[in-house]
Amino acid sequence: MDKIIMFLATGFYSGNLPKAPGTWGSLVALVPWFFMRNLPMPTYLGMLAVLFVLGCILSGSAEKILDQADAGPIVIDEFVGMFITLTAAPNHPAAWILGFLLFRVFDVFKPFPCSWFDQHIHGGFGIMMDDVIAGLYALASLHLLWLLVTKVTH
């Protein structure tokens, strides 16, 4: 069971890649997102909610297996953050790349309340929540920037 937990919590082992596991996890998250992106919105949001709950359970379990709080290889939180960021994203590769970059910026710099969750809430829920909030910041930024760019270019 530990192998299954670690396989999923590390984003298909992408979190085990050297240097910047969160970036690798965010990048790998684009693959399943690509196949989910055209789902009806209620289905997409339902799957996102299930992924969040599973992420809380899996990341908390992986923390115990690794015996380390919020260990770097745990990247299922980046998957959820990317899925949030790219919710209803424009159907254009430039928007997807922008969403990836925005999420990484918000995840790395952790503006409030991301930083508060990261520092004060522990276990699986804490691991997930700072990325949920970073994803919400990136989602709003992506849609605003895309709107501005398309207004200026048309």
Rounded to the nearest 10 degrees, what angle do helices 76-85 and 41-66 cross at?
160
Residue with tokens 């930024």: 141
What pLDDT score was predicted for residue 150?
Answer: 86
| H/E stretch holding 101 | helix 93-109
Quick check: 154 pLDDT over 80? no
Which residues have CB under 8 Å from 96's CB, separation 6+?
30, 86, 89
Q: Each residue of 122-133: pLDDT tens digit?
A: 999 999 999 999
Which residue ranges make up each domain of the chain?
Answer: 2-153
Average pLDDT, the chain: 96
Question: Looking at residues 87-113, what average pLDDT do you find?
Answer: 97
What pLDDT score was predicted for residue 151?
Answer: 84
Q: Which region among 40-44, 68-72, 149-153 has the lowest average model confidence (pLDDT)?
A: 149-153
Q: Each residue of 67-92: pLDDT tens digit?
A: 998 899 999 999 999 999 999 999 99
Task: Round to whole Å and give the CA distance between 131 and 80.
Answer: 7
Quick check: 15 pLDDT over 90? yes
Give one DSSP letter per residue of 17-52, joined into a string: SSS-HHHHHHHHHHHHHHHHTTS-HHHHHHHHHHHH
pTM for the whole structure: 0.95
Task: Round to whole Å and give the CA distance between 95 and 33.
Answer: 13
Q: What value does the CA radius of gyration of the chain take, rounded to a whole number of Å? A: 15
Question: Looking at residues 8-24, what average pLDDT do you find?
Answer: 95
What pLDDT score was predicted for residue 153?
Answer: 80
